[in-house]
Amino acid sequence: MTLDRTLHWLEKLVAFDTRNGIGDERPCAQFLKTALAAHAPDSLIFETVLRSRGRSDGAYVLASWGKPQVLLNVHLDTVPSGEGWTSDPHTLADTGDRVVGLGTSDIKGAMACILAAMEQGKPDNVAVLFSGDEEAGSEVMEAIVARGHMSAAPRAIICEPTGCEVGQRHRGFMAYMARYTGPGGHSSLSDTVAAPVLSAARLALALGDYGKANLDAGNGSYIGLCVNVGMIDSDGAHNVIPTRAELRVSLRPPPGDDIAARETDLARIFKNHAPDELSCMAVHPPLQTRDLSGFAPYFSGQETRPIDLPYWTEAAMLSAAGVDCVVYGPGDVEQAHRPNEFVTKAQLETASKVYAKALFNNG
């Protein structure tokens, strides 16, 4: 296995426009299906997922060999490229000790490592899942879990940019939208006309108080709920009573937190402040690896250390479905989601060795 082969695959993967909400995951998933089929898997599943909000269909491909002991999962979508790139985001650029391109760090670099490692021979007792829509909703992973297409592996390595360290914990994520409405009108009528913004503000204050009351929730690196009232938007002005006000709030429960209890608490707050419309945009559990020692064979010989991650990953969804997970991959979260995204060649080489152990040392 050589770095050249990893870069060969990464160049092909970066060329696919899988920007969530802009590009199309399906051609890349079809390409990956062909690449996996070349290694004669015992099972190969390719499916699409109809996503909401008018976006193109998501897709995933799952290959299994033997009786899988570990699942390798990489998401194939990226964020939009945005402004500030000094080169074509979809053309891999070699700058010496690093390569630049959209998704190199988050997380097509890991995908390329896996494809290059597979060239050593036929994988043994392992499953590989390439899945879409991680960057904007996780509807594909939700469908994978619902359809029972996770493979039967008892553990999984979820590939995200951890700098080749082993991520063992992260917060959950919950988000809601509440809307208040009224007839609107001239501000001289504000003593008698419904005030959507005031109602939204009262709800915001109650949510903020809930966050303050739980500042001691959690432990270690994760204290508090990170309650964030991100916006209150309306169609009003200083002299116009709005006809609507929309509030959006999120919170990030720490590892080990009781998500069901949080949902109950929030339901009570929402009921007390009675929005005209309420929608739950996301409820994702936190991650806590259950048995880190079970992953030791894949990281033997590597200078890795367990770390707490500052961001949410789909590992939490698989963990909630019964699969013990760690998060591991080349790249740096500081490089993800920004212009001239890059991954170092040294990290690609390190990650390739870990993935090779997962692919071939599961007899």
Q: How confident is the prediction along the chain (363 residues), in pLDDT tens digits per residue?
A: 589 999 999 999 999 999 998 999 999 999 999 999 999 999 999 999 988 765 678 999 999 999 999 999 999 999 999 899 999 999 999 999 999 999 999 999 999 999 999 999 999 999 999 999 999 889 999 999 999 998 899 999 999 999 999 999 999 999 999 999 999 999 999 999 999 999 999 999 999 999 999 999 998 899 999 999 999 999 999 999 999 999 999 999 999 999 999 999 999 999 999 999 999 998 999 999 999 999 999 998 777 789 999 999 999 999 999 999 999 999 998 888 899 999 999 999 999 999 999 999 865
Give yes or no: residues 178 and 157 share one domain: no
Kindly give, in sequence order, each residue whose CB lies less than 8 Å from that of residue 114, ignoring residues fewer than 6 positions away.
Answer: 72, 74, 128, 159, 355, 359
Give yes or no: residues 232 and 330 share one domain: no
CA distance linking residue 243 with residue 73, whole number of Å = 46
Give yes or no: residues 61 and 80 share one domain: yes
Q: What is the CATH number of the domain that holds 156?
A: 3.40.630.10
| Omega prior to 107 cis, within 30 of 0 | yes
The residue from 134, 135, 139, 246 that is catalytic is: 134
Find the domain containing 303 and state its range: 3-170+286-360
Give pLDDT, residue 54.
Answer: 55
Helix (H) or strand (E) run with residue 355 in it: helix 345-360
Is 47 in the active site? no
Give pLDDT, residue 361.
Answer: 82
Q: Taking the CB of residue 275, how many other CB atoms lie within 10 A of it? A: 21
- Count how many domains the chain has: 2
Residue 92, both tokens: 């891999």
Which of 243, 267, 284 is a domain's end point?
Answer: 284
Give yes or no: residues 206 and 320 share one domain: no
Look up tokens 């009262």; give the residue. 202
Residue 91, both tokens: 């053309």
Look up tokens 């391109």; give the residue. 101
Give yes or no: residues 143 and 234 share one domain: no
Nearest CA to 287 out of 261, 262, 322, 312 is that of: 312
Residue 59, both tokens: 């897709």
Q: What is the CATH number of the domain that holds 212?
A: 3.30.70.360
Give pLDDT, residue 126.
Answer: 97
